Amino acid sequence: MRKALGLFAFLAFVLFLFAAAISLRPFGEPPHAEMDSYFIEHAQEEASANNVVTSVVFDYRGFDTLGEATVLFTAVSGVLMALRHYGGKEK
Amino acid sequence: MTTTIIKTTTRLLAPLILVFGSYIILHGHLTPGGGFQGGAVFASGLILLIVANVRDKVQELFEKTPLTQLESLGALGFLGIGLLGLMSYTFLKNAIANSGFLFGGTTPQGINPGYLNTGGTLSYLNIFVGTKVLAGLTSIILIFFLILRRERDEW
């Protein structure tokens, strides 16, 4: 009984995956591309950078990068605070 | 792990890795990469220097190096550049782009070879984030190294 149920669930999941793969959009045509087009067309003029990825990461979404940097800062200060006493001079 | 092979390899490779990391940080607005990636590469060069030396040498070498100060400098610099954008429009607005200041050159539209003197705040943020990442990763590995090498010097 359990095996039959598992097989049924597996087959249903495989069918679902096939249906999803068939109804996938063609490669390279995302549904909402307005923002991408805006970044690609205006990044050189607004952010004055050839690398559009960097202009997104550091300019258009700079606040997100600030958060990432804060995560790293917190991790480093946590490790140093916890282990500072062990790493010092030998007694 | 301070064998002759590792020492010789480090002597040859560490300068190249450090130069490559600085290149990735400085050219973050032109080529793939940026502050995080370049900082990680630079930190890996410093880590190679750490693991290829004995404990006393490392402690002597890094005692005067202000790693935690560099980390804080990176964070404060990022915030400072962000507040600089606040003067003109919003937080983290690219205020230096196209202004003629250092890194404030104008990028020609379309395909171009890429000029280092462009990017505005992007270049400054790349440099600050790179400083922060290299100092942070290096200090983490340094403290683990100092703890692990406390008992026995030669592994």
Q: How many CB atoms lie within 10 A of CB B117?
A: 14
Average of pLDDT values for A3-7? 93
Tell me how far apart the alpha carbons of residues A64 and A57 are, in angstroms, rounded to a whole number. Answer: 8
Chain B hits for A75, Cβ within 8 Å: 136, 140
Dump the DSSP string for chain B: ---HHHHHHHHHHHHHHHHHHHHHHHTTTTSS--HHHHHHHHHHHHHHHHHTS-HHHHHHHHSS--HHHHHHHHHHHHHHHHHHHHHHSSTT---STTSSSTT-PPPPSSS----TT--THHHHHHHHHHHHHHHHHHHHHHHHHHHHTSS-S--
Per-residue pLDDT, B22: 94
How far, in Å, CA of B50 to CA of B19, rounded?
Answer: 17
The whole-number pLDDT of residue A24 equals: 85
**Interchain CB contact of B88 with A (< 8 Å):** no
Hey, is the C-beta of B122 within 8 angstroms of any chain A C-beta?
Answer: yes
Using CA atoms of B138, B140, B143, B148 in order, give the dihedral in degrees to the nearest 10.
-100
A42 belongs to a structural domain: yes
Range of the domain at A78: 28-83
pTM: 0.84
Nearest residue on chain B to A83, alpha-carbon basis: B143
Confidence class for position A90, pLDDT limits 50, 70, 90: very low
Quick check: is A18 in a domain? no
Residue B114 C-alpha from the chain's centroid: 22
Is residue A87's pLDDT more than 80? no
Query: How many domains does one find in chain A?
Result: 1
How many A/B residue pairs have CB atoms within 8 Å?
119
Please count the other Cβ atoms lying within 10 Å of the Cβ belonging to residue B55.
Answer: 18
pLDDT digits (tens, 9 = 90+) for B64-110: 888 889 999 999 999 999 898 888 778 888 888 888 788 888 888 88
With a cut of 70, say whether residue B151 has pLDDT above it: no
- Tens of pLDDT, residue by residue over B42-68, are 999 999 999 888 888 888 888 888 888
Q: Which of B121, B122, B136 sits opposite A72 (nearest CB)?
A: B136
What gap in Å lies between CA B136 and CA A70, rounded to an integer?
A: 11
| Domain membership flag for residue A19 | no
What would the mean pLDDT of A9-36 be, rounded to a whole number?
A: 88
Q: What is the mean pLDDT of chain A?
A: 86
Question: Is A15 inside a domain boundary?
Answer: no
The complex scores an ipTM of: 0.82
B125/A contact by beta carbon, under 8 A: yes
The shortest C-alpha distance from B40 to chain A (Å) reads: 12
Residue A11 included in any domain: no
C-alpha span between A42 and A40 (Å, rounded)? 6
What distance in Å separates residue A29's CA from the closest CA in chain B? 22
> What pLDDT band is residue A88 in, cutting at 50, 70 and 90?
low
Is A47 within the bounds of a domain?
Answer: yes
Q: Report the gap between the CA of A15 and the closest CA in chain B (Å).
A: 40
* Chain B, window 90-109: residues with a beta carbon less than 8 angstroms from a chain A beta carbon: 91-92, 94, 97-98, 104-109
pLDDT at A91: 35
**Of B127, B35, B138, which Cα lies nearest the Cα of B77?**
B127
CA distance B128 to chain A (A): 10
Element (DSSP H or E) covering residue A77: helix A62-83
Q: pLDDT digits over B111-131, tens only?
A: 888 888 888 889 999 999 999
pLDDT at A27: 82
Q: Which of residues 21-60 of B touch A (CB under 8 A)?
A: 28-32, 34-36, 59
- How many CA atoms lie less than 13 Å away from B10 in the CB half-sphere? 17
Is B71 close to A55, i.e. CB distance below 8 A?
no
| In-domain check, residue A7 | no
Q: Which is higher by pLDDT, A44 or B17?
A: B17
Specify if A68 maps to a domain.
yes
